[in-house]
Structure 1
Amino acid sequence: MREPVVTREMIADPKTKYGDARASTRHFFLQRLSGASNILFTAFLIFIVVRLAGAGRADVVGLIGNPFVGIPFAILFAIVCFHMSIGMNEVIEDYVGEARSNRLAVSLNAFFALAVGVVGAVSILKIVFWG
């Protein structure tokens, strides 16, 4: 089944229904919320980078192994991956033409972001709890 062709007039007319309003609002809100939390965590990330500049492995494990540093760092990593997933979904929805390719690309994007987020957060938490 082919999707209807969307014209410029359809998009410009506020009376036409184009897309899912709730999903669009949810994506907009979640992207802004995750972006704001990323801004808040940026100072924390800068602290980690400056603190670990030129440090050896033992110093890195010692700093990230501190629960007050490692747990927020793992949360930051997960939020950044979530934000990346939402942003890439927007790019896919805007630039991938066919519905079948769009669904595959969105699914692969979700899998990739989830895999990177889980591997990164679990790796950080492993350092926190098991050194």
Structure 2
Amino acid sequence: MSSRTDKNVSMRTPLANVRRLGAAHGGTSDFFRQRLTAVAMALLMIPVAVIVIMLVGRDQASAQALLGSPVVAILLTLFIIAGCVHMKIGVQVVIEDYVHSEAAKISAILANNFFSFAVGLASIYAIFKLSVGS
């Protein structure tokens, strides 16, 4: 009889290996953050829809006055932040699942992070410009 002294052999089941954090050691936090941003966007959807309906038929000056109010600016900023984070996580999951080349995967994730940040920053900048004036 030969005894196995190989240190790579584990007596743990596959379920025990991934029970806490998952195979990637980060999927649980992404899953939770994506659900949290989805709830935030669902709650903010009604006020944002009301703001959009209030903009129908307004001229530029009155639309700027409405979008420049602090409450509207805060609501839109929160909606944009939640949307951009939700978008970033969702696209990153698709990239991780379907892009198999490691170099392409890293490049796509970096581009996704940059794009999400740029969209969020440009949108928040526009809201800030409207709220403080030009």
Counterpart amino acid of 1:75?
L
Shift of 1:14: 2.5
CA distance in 2, matches of 1:111, 1:61: 29
The equivalent of 1:74 in structure 2 is: 77
RMSD over equivalenced CA pairs, Å: 1.5
Partner in structure 1 of residue 23 of structure 2: 19
Report the equivalent of 1:32. 35
- Give runs of aligned pairs for residues 42-61 of structure 1, distance below 5 A: 42-61=45-64
Higher mean Cα deviation, 25-34 or 74-83? 74-83
Residue 105 of structure 2 is aligned to residue 102 of structure 1: yes
The gaps in structure 2 that reach 5 residues or longer are 1-13
Q: What TM-score, normalized to structure 2?
A: 0.82
Asked if structure 1 preserves the Cα contact closer than 8 Å seen for 2:48 and 2:75, the reply is: no
Alignment of 1:112 with 2:98, yes or no, is no
Identity of aligned residues (%): 31
Higher CA-based Rg: 2
Q: How far apart, CA to CA, are the structure 2 residues paired with 1:127 and 1:44? A: 18
**Higher helix share goes to which structure?**
1
SS in 2 for 1:14: helix
Cα distance in structure 2, aligned partners of 1:122 and 1:75: 13
User: For this pair of structures, how many residues does the alignment match?
Assistant: 118
**5+ residue gaps in structure 1?**
1-12
* Cα shift at 1:15: 4.6
SS at match of 1:50: helix
Runs of 4+ in 1 over 4 A off after TM superposition: 15-18
